Amino acid sequence: MKLVPLRLSGAWLIELAPFSDDRGFFQRVYDDVTFAKHGLSTSWVQDNEAFNTRAGIVRGLHFQRPPHAETKLVRVVQGAIYDVIVDLRAGSSTYGQWEGVELDAQQQRMLYIPRGFAHGYCTRTEHARIVYKVDAHYAPQAEGGLRFDDPTLAIAWQVAEPTVSDKDRRWPSLAELRTPFEELT
């Protein structure tokens, strides 16, 4: 397992190292000692799974407001996605910036997203299955979001006509959002 820091402080790309032979492979996808050594969350309370039937679906950009803010560990087990995070931590030097990474079942990589980030993805294939761990329980009253097509962010979703829920189309832009992450950096 190799942890690679991303440009946005606190976010990591985790490259897995499968052991393969003619039967298939085995790999470690989480190790609390390795995570703790890098200062990452090691206390997961929920495992979530999302399945998407077709390419071009955009979900997000989502976050949970404090005190229900969550750290996520995202992995694709079927298909491929373009995963995007946006730094919403008021005191961060990368506030309002975004970063995107390709995640797919073949590359065996994960994305570690700390609290204070909005998160979303675009499916690149049919039948994309995403699994992720979170370190806080979901609280519907703490739901928050950011417009996926905010012109200020100008995220390159890599799809001409995305399929997006009505709810995700109604989130505010970054300029309209008063970040709930004043204490995080």
| pLDDT tens string 44-88 | 999 999 999 999 999 999 999 999 999 999 999 999 999 999 999
In a domain, 44, yes or no: yes
In a domain, 183, yes or no: no
Q: Whose CA is closest to 118, among 144, 139, 91? A: 144
pTM greater than 0.85: yes
In a domain, 180, yes or no: no
pLDDT tens readout for residues 131-181: 999 999 999 999 999 999 999 999 999 898 999 999 999 999 999 999 999
Active-site position among 38, 127, 132, 137: 132
In a domain, 84, yes or no: yes
In a domain, 181, yes or no: no
In a domain, 176, yes or no: no
Active-site position among 62, 68, 112, 119: 62
In a domain, 126, yes or no: yes
Query: Does position 27 have pLDDT exceeding 80, yes or no?
Result: no
CATH number at residue 78: 2.60.120.10
132 catalytic, yes or no? yes
In a domain, 32, yes or no: yes
38 catalytic, yes or no? no
CA 172 to mean position of chain CA atoms: 19
**Cis preceding linkage at 140, omega within 30:** no
Number of domains in the chain: 1
The residue range of the domain holding 32 is: 2-18+27-169
Distance CA 112, CA 34 (A): 13
Q: Do β-strands 128-134 and 46-52 pair in parallel, antiparallel, or remain unpaired?
A: antiparallel
